[in-house]
Chain A
Amino acid sequence: SLEQLFKELDEYIINSQFKKAIRVCNKILSVNGNDSEAFQCKVICLMQLSNFTEAIECFKKPEQIQSMQFEYSYCLYSTAKYQEALTQLEKQSSKETKSLELEAQIYYKLENYQKTISIYESLLSKPGYSDSIEFITNLCAVYLDAG
């Protein structure tokens, strides 16, 4: 049953067995091509496997991109399609902090350090950032690179 397939899928995800999880997603999607949870899980499994090109190829309809704008933008970033990733992020009406983090990383890759600094400085006032060692490390890195 569909419930059984989702139980299986959940188990594989919990155990990081992403290739097996994708096979279950494909089974669900062969029954219902519009199943949003199966679609999202398949894309995220591919991302966990660093298979970003195949993840991008999953997106066939605008509403699929709409439902996973952050993840789609991340896949573009990971395949060095930096401008496309920025364009995609700009389409978001209100940006979640994760999208701002990604935007800052894209500007860092593009060596536009001032943009990265201004986004990071705006994140610094939000909860959880000033006490994150990784965030502070990145902030130091971009200050150093900016000279």
Chain B
Amino acid sequence: KPIFFDLAFNSVTFPSLDQRK
């Protein structure tokens, strides 16, 4: 089976908390 990267997980990112701190 060839290598297949989980590219979608790179787009799992935290929201900015700058307005809340």
Contacts and interface: CB of A to CB of B under 8 A. Distances in A.
Contact of B2 (A7, A37, A141): A141
Contacts of B8: 74, 77, 98, 101-102, 105
Interface residues of B, number: 17
B5 A137 contact: yes
B21 A7 contact: yes
Contact of A105 (B7, B13, B14, B21): B7
Interface of A: 2-3, 6-7, 9-10, 13, 37, 40-41, 44, 47-48, 70-71, 74, 77, 98, 101-102, 105, 108, 132, 134-135, 137-138, 140-142, 144-145
The dominant DSSP class at the B interface is loop
Interface of B: 1-9, 11-15, 17, 20-21
6 contacts: A6-B21, A44-B13, A101-B11, A102-B8, A105-B6, A141-B4
